A and B are shown apart, each in its own frame.
Chain A
Amino acid sequence: KAGVTQTPRYLIKTRGQQVTLSCSPISGHRSVSWYQQTPGQGLQFLFEYFSETQRNKGNFPGRFSGRQFSNSRSEMNVSTLELGDSALYLCASSLEQGLYEQYFGPGTRLTVT
């Protein structure tokens, strides 16, 4: 069974631009969560989607948004990029919402210049 896939793997954007990242969960998994990883803050929860609905949201500004499609694939969008948004963005999928084991993708490395 294929793992979680994320595209693109690397991105370089300019401050003020917007970006869309994509995540395809493991087949059969219906919950997708997004995390941001930076050297200073470590891994921080962004949001979780289940059945095309955002179920939970972390403490991030409204510039960070996402959505989930009927096939469970998910996208996250960051508008008006700031230098501090440079990070590794990780997507994780699990069978259902809640307490199930999460499986992570390889991440998208975003660099904002």
Chain B
Amino acid sequence: KQEVTQIPAALSVPEGENLVLNCSFTDSAIYNLQWFRQDPGKGLTSLLLIQSSQREQTSGRLNASLDKSSGRSTLYIAASQPGDSATYLCAVRDVSNSGYALNFGKGTSLLVTP
């Protein structure tokens, strides 16, 4: 059974810092990996989708990498801003008893202080 782990569970950084969020998964036979952002009490906003054949994806200040063989992905946020404060979730998609459902980690809660 696929297990997705995100470390650290919480992170506090001053504005302007570059930071890295980590995601690991136990079964490397994935189809893709998606990073999401969730603001308190809100739904999920898709940030980046990386297909299993890709090594990285970039969107603005965000860069996500994928190392399928080692079961790891990182989300790099450049020049962090207070508006980046949110919970970041990674989710992998593989074939399981639940079809192509997303398997989520518990998230990293990020606080960027002015």
Is B100 a contact partner of A99 (Cβ separation < 8 A)? yes
Q: Identify which of residues 14-33 in chain B touch chain A, using a CB-to-CB cut-off of 8 Å.
A: 31-32
With both chains docked as a complex, state the minimum distance between the C-beta of A86 and any C-beta of chain B, in angstroms. Answer: 14
Contacts of A102 in B (CB 8 A): 34, 46, 102
- Bound-state CA distance A1–B46 (Å) is 16
Where chain A touches its partner, the secondary structure class is: strand
Residue of B nearest to A88 (CB): B41
Number of interface residues of A (CB under 8 A): 28
| Cβ-Cβ contact count across A and B, 8 Å cutoff | 60
Contacts of B46 in A (CB 8 A): 101-104
Is B45 a contact partner of A104 (Cβ separation < 8 A)? yes
Among all A-B residue pairs, the 5 with the closest Cβ atoms: A56-B99, A45-B101, A104-B44, A43-B104, A106-B43
Known pairs A33-B101, A35-B104, A48-B100; list 20 more (Cβ under 8 Å).
A42-B106, A44-B104, A45-B102, A45-B103, A56-B101, A88-B41, A90-B44, A92-B102, A98-B100, A99-B32, A99-B93, A99-B100, A101-B34, A102-B34, A102-B102, A103-B46, A104-B46, A106-B42, A106-B43, A107-B42
